[in-house]
Amino acid sequence: MTKTTKSILIGAAVLLSAPVHASVAEPDNQFIRTAASTQNFQTDFTQAAEKTVNAVVCIKSYTSRQQGNMFGSQNPFDMFDFFFGPQQRPQQRQPRQQQKKSEPVQSGLGSGVIITADGYIVTNNHVIENSDKLEVLLNDNSTYEARIIGTDEATDLALLKIDATGLSPIVFGDSETVKIGEWVLAVGNPFGFNSTVTAGIVSAKARSLGQNGRNGQMGIESFIQTDAALNPGNSGGALVNLRGELIGINSAIYSNTGSYSGFSFAIPTTIVRKVMTDLKQYGTVQRAMLGCTVAELDAKLAKEKDITATKSGMLVDEVSDMSTAKELGLQKNDVIVALNDVDIHNFAQLTEQLNKFRPGDSISITYYRDNKRYTKTGILRNSQGNTQITKKGDFSDLGCAFMKLSQELKQRLGISNGVQVAGLKSGPVRDAGVKDGFIIMEVNGRAVNSSEDMEDVFNQVMKGNDDKVLVLSGIYPTGKKYYYAVNLSEEQ
């Protein structure tokens, strides 16, 4: 035992400091020589860096702000509130004669990855959200203005397009084959330093950051964790293996200071590839739902439920009607342990696998019931319980419901018509600054009294050739009046 331990320690020292000479012939040293020549110990990052830097771009976001009040001091609202909702003013109101829009100013800096030779680029949603203009700087210093093809807040991904050809797209790798301890490179633009490469290892896979259900959506909960240094500006950049293949999009750091302090996190390519395909093909992400609420099984919970066949998996609590889980016959206290033969030990792994599929895809579920193992196959559905494709520009994409007003509420507020915003979630209405409970009295100058009225105005705007904007005027239950502009330009 002593001899074996000694040889391993020597082997580690040799690998780090000096080559092994062929003249050494002891059995333990023979083992060391074999290990040192194995490709798994290769730490030459130059080829991977060369393959990656030209595929990673710098993304600068610009924002315009209206200066002054074009309506004068008698108007009950100013244009900043009108377009962005009530919030803290960035500056004092300017005299009336200053009515010009300011030039766009740089408001953010991030990274992106070229995925096609004709100019499609993937980045993080948080890199480009709320921007009025996007500028892409390539590694050869050429600059392009980018347009947004689609965004997905739940997975924090966005697809951009620049008008260019002959670019150097990155090669996609398979994030599921990545191993803990494997060397990786992070390439991006930290603090604006273009084409910066840092190295580290994969510290963990399927890492959850506790953001599930963000804004009512099934968010990304299965990050690749690495100790490669990331800093502000790296967001949206590439995480690659030593072959220069993309295995993740860098998205977050774990830090008390806002700068790198040990760990960073990337969205795996199994999710990136699917989301980018959806955004390009449909304009929005097609989400498949299993249709049941679950909890992570541990030893304590297994003992309480008298489950002896497994100590990990997803314990089914409730099953929704019109769902895949219902079709498969899943029941309370069943334990899901695999999807399509991929083992499931925690919620992060479950969401990663589901994010790979669309409604209508076939999937096999392996589970335990009464300590007996079963595998069944079913068809995944969407949140509405069907397999239809979700189209960009649907009325439901506004992200809220519009409820009829009670006669009592009308009388108390002294109004004769309106609909009340309820169940607000991610979408253009919330993005405009609207809060739950807001009562919409008019949309684009037309009085509304029902959800059907709202949908009719929405459809007219989407079919027209004018700006895709819903101008909402109304009142909160407190009696305060507000005006909002809901931008639908990305919902075409």
Q: Which residues are catalytic?
A: 126, 156, 235
Strand ranges for 380-430 from DSSP E: 401-404, 419-422
Distance CA 221, CA 252 (A): 12
Q: Which two tokens stand for residue 92?
A: 């004092």
Which of 79, 56, 70 has the alpha carbon at shortest distance from 98? 70
The runs of H, that is alpha helices, within 262-320 are 269-282, 299-304
Distance CA 135, CA 125 (A): 15
Which of 160, 158, 174 has the alpha carbon at shortest distance from 246? 174
Side-chain-side CA neighbours of residue 220 (13 Å): 29
Distance CA 252, CA 110 (A): 12
Which of 109, 55, 44, 42 has the alpha carbon at shortest distance from 246? 55
Which of 54, 51, 53 has the alpha carbon at shortest distance from 197? 53
CA 214 to chain centre: 10
Distance CA 88, CA 473 (A): 20
β-bridge mates for residue 111, sequence order: 58
The radius of gyration of the chain from alpha carbons, rounded to an integer in Å, stands at 27
Q: Which two tokens stand for residue 252?
A: 């977050």
